[in-house]
Structure 1
Amino acid sequence: EMAVSLSLQSLGLVLLAAILLQTIAVAVSFVYFNRVLSTMQETFSRSSVSCLINANLRSDVENSSEEKKGDPCWQVTQQLHHHLEKTMADRFQKEISTAMRNEMTGAEPSRTSGVRGVPLPKVAAHVTGVVSSTEPPTADGNDPLISRGYLGERIREWEGHRGLSFLENMELRGGELLVPRAGLYYIYGQTYFRLPSSGEAEGGEEEAQLVQYIYKKMSSYTVPILLMKSSRSACWPRGPEPGLFSLHQAGTAFLQPADRLFVTVSNVSAMEMDGRASYFGAFLVG
């Protein structure tokens, strides 16, 4: 019985020693392979960075010979080049598609005001001459300048809804455009004149002074403020045909809510109120 007991103890010690040796071998192998893997990763990273630093992507792509295709550096730069090319092509295609869609639908790119990313509301107006009227535009009479506060004769009849005219977030009252929002506005106007023939009378040709004014009227100030002025001298025609002349002007001005814009001319009775020749407008730009 003692012999059997000794044999079992010896067998247990042998098995324990074998397990211990196997554990040590696994631990040593794990440490060894872990170091080898770390060394390989570091070497690959350094080589990849070196490829990116020293490589010329364009020349590498153009000179893609059979010898270079087996070079790891060439493969890295080739993959990077394709990735950059695909990213840029996708972005360019997206921008082109958006621009084409806006062009087809008539949409305008969003404008921004002082706050980045905040769209600027559409505020615009284009009013035209009243083509249906056979009478000359309504004038203010012969009131002196001191009682009116402005030069010329006011044009009180504009069309704001038909033909080429439109009003977007602006109102037209008595020939005046009402400003709804503070900001920088682009203001423009054109007036068209038809001067009748003076005949073959003696005394030579006479000159007519044609002047166009654009005024701003503020609620806090009683006298209108002259924003811009355009003028020219025209000779009265002597032949059978009338003389045709136009005045055009445009500019920018900072306007406040409730400001009013209106147009005056020196010879309102000679105006041709064709909507394509006589017009007036403004729109918010910033």
Structure 2
Amino acid sequence: MAIPVSVQCVGLITLVAILVQTIAVALTFVYFNKVLNTMQDSFSRSSVSCLINSDVEDWGSQGLGAEDRKSDPCWQVTQQLHHHIQKKMTDRFQREMSITVRNKLTDVLPVLSPGIRGVSLPKVAAHVTGVVSSSSSSSSSSEPSSTGGSRMIRSHLGERIRSWEGHRGLSFLQNMELRGGELVTPTAGLYYIYAQTYFRLPPTGETEQEGAQLVQYVYKKMSSYTVPILLMKSSRSVCWPRGPEPGLFSLHQAGTAFLQHADRLFITVSNATNMEMDGRASYFGAFLIG
């Protein structure tokens, strides 16, 4: 009878030991789980407070030196986040400003060459420049529209400028065509048109000639109407130079006009023989804006 009792005792002791170990493990798990949750909550609160705690702004007033602030983990987190946000905002601002400035320059300065990297021109645009040649840079074609007795009536005022460069130097043609000194519009729309002509009046000494009238005209010619239509004109009264140096003068004008498909633009001036066809001084152009 002693053997069975001993086996029962051993089994009971083993069962109690397993039960006690299980309870201890369970209690230990519950305890550490609670501690872990407490640490997570504390860490979350401290992380959020690093971002929204107003005390961060008062570190200087609390007497904390630079070394103390640098050793504070919360200060390091906020500083790194601040620098990161500042860098992102600066990069975005510079990128947006670069695009805005580039677009403004393209609108205001159509003289920019289409070959410049990153510069996009309007879909329809042209900038043509004067051509210096041994022959006269202008033509006095008067294009008579009718005759009254023996007197010719001109279809436009001034002398037409025909020698324009459209492909070299600062000039370009973007979906527009240059024919015989005329810019041909490929599509109907509102165009911004500009022109400048440069004059060099030679000195004449002491003469009876007191002054000169410089006039610049911008015309459009329509296929449905035989007589060119004056769009703009600019004039200037100047004194003829009396000293040894020539007189230098320029006329500039710009404006908008609605043009139809295949309309043509051309420039005429007074005193065409005194016009200097330097491509940086005498030019005209147009581009579609709407």
Q: Determine if contact 1:200/1:238 at 8 Å carries over to the other structure.
A: yes
User: In the alignment, which of 77, 82, 85 is matched to residue 83 of structure 2?
Assistant: 85
Q: Determine if contact 2:137/2:163 at 8 Å carries over to the other structure.
A: no
Q: Determine if contact 1:179/1:260 at 8 Å carries over to the other structure.
A: yes
Cα deviation for residue 247 of structure 1 reads: 0.9
User: Within the alignment, does 1:25 sit opposite 2:24 as a pair?
Assistant: yes
Partners of 1:217 and 1:231 lie apart in 2 by 21
Q: Determine if contact 1:205/1:237 at 8 Å carries over to the other structure.
A: no
Report how many residues are paired. 265
Match of 1:245 in 2: 249
The within-5 A match list for 1:8-19 is 8-19=7-18
Q: Determine if contact 1:209/1:266 at 8 Å carries over to the other structure.
A: yes
Over aligned residue pairs, what C-alpha RMSD do you find?
Answer: 4.2
Match of 1:76 in 2: 74
Partners of 2:202 and 2:49 lie apart in 1 by 85
What whole-Å deviation, never above 9, does each CA across 1:149-169 have from its counterpart, x for those lacking one? 654333222122344433344
Match of 1:205 in 2: 209
Partners of 1:211 and 1:93 lie apart in 2 by 50
User: In structure 2, the residue corresponding to 1:55 is in which secondary structure?
Assistant: helix
The within-5 A match list for 1:46-61 is 46-52=45-51, 53-56=53-56
Partners of 1:238 and 1:85 lie apart in 2 by 67
Percent identity at matched positions? 63
Cα deviation for residue 138 of structure 1 reads: 1.4
What whole-Å deviation, never above 9, does each CA across 1:104-152 have from its counterpart, x for those lacking one? xx955566xxxxxxxx656543322221142251122262599876543
User: In structure 1, the residue corresponding to 2:138 is in which secondary structure?
Assistant: coil
Partners of 1:223 and 1:20 lie apart in 2 by 114
Match of 1:156 in 2: 162
Going from structure 1 to structure 2, the CA distance change for 1:187 and 1:55 (only over 3 Å counts) comes to farther
Going from structure 1 to structure 2, the CA distance change for 1:47 and 1:238 (only over 3 Å counts) comes to closer
Going from structure 1 to structure 2, the CA distance change for 1:43 and 1:90 (only over 3 Å counts) comes to closer
When the two structures are superposed, what TM-score results if normalisation uses the length of structure 2? 0.68
Partners of 2:253 and 2:185 lie apart in 1 by 19
Cα deviation for residue 220 of structure 1 reads: 7.0
Q: Determine if contact 2:138/2:159 at 8 Å carries over to the other structure.
A: no
Q: Determine if contact 2:130/2:163 at 8 Å carries over to the other structure.
A: yes
Partners of 1:285 and 1:58 lie apart in 2 by 55
Going from structure 1 to structure 2, the CA distance change for 1:196 and 1:66 (only over 3 Å counts) comes to closer
Cα deviation for residue 39 of structure 1 reads: 1.7
Cα deviation for residue 54 of structure 1 reads: 1.7
Partners of 2:10 and 2:225 lie apart in 1 by 115
Letter in 1 for 2:78: L
Match of 1:114 in 2: none
User: In structure 1, the residue corresponding to 2:193 is in which secondary structure?
Assistant: strand
Cα deviation for residue 173 of structure 1 reads: 1.2
Partners of 1:220 and 1:37 lie apart in 2 by 88
User: Within the alignment, does 1:193 sit opposite 2:199 as a pair?
Assistant: yes
Partners of 1:15 and 1:25 lie apart in 2 by 15
Match of 1:45 in 2: 44
Partners of 1:34 and 1:270 lie apart in 2 by 97
Partners of 1:225 and 1:59 lie apart in 2 by 75
Letter in 1 for 2:250: S
What whole-Å deviation, never above 9, does each CA across 1:198-232 have from its counterpart, x for those lacking one? 6756xx53543321122344567776554432111
What stretches of structure 1 of length at least 5 have no aligned partner?
112-119
Partners of 2:280 and 2:67 lie apart in 1 by 69
User: In structure 2, the residue corresponding to 1:128 is in which secondary structure?
Assistant: strand
Match of 2:130 in 1: 129
Q: Determine if contact 2:70/2:76 at 8 Å carries over to the other structure.
A: no
What stretches of structure 2 of length at least 5 have no aligned partner?
103-114, 148-152
Going from structure 1 to structure 2, the CA distance change for 1:145 and 1:54 (only over 3 Å counts) comes to farther
Partners of 1:220 and 1:21 lie apart in 2 by 109
Q: Determine if contact 1:137/1:156 at 8 Å carries over to the other structure.
A: yes
What whole-Å deviation, never above 9, does each CA across 1:159-182 have from its counterpart, x for those lacking one? 223444333443211112234567
Partners of 2:58 and 2:140 lie apart in 1 by 73
Cα deviation for residue 183 of structure 1 reads: 6.9
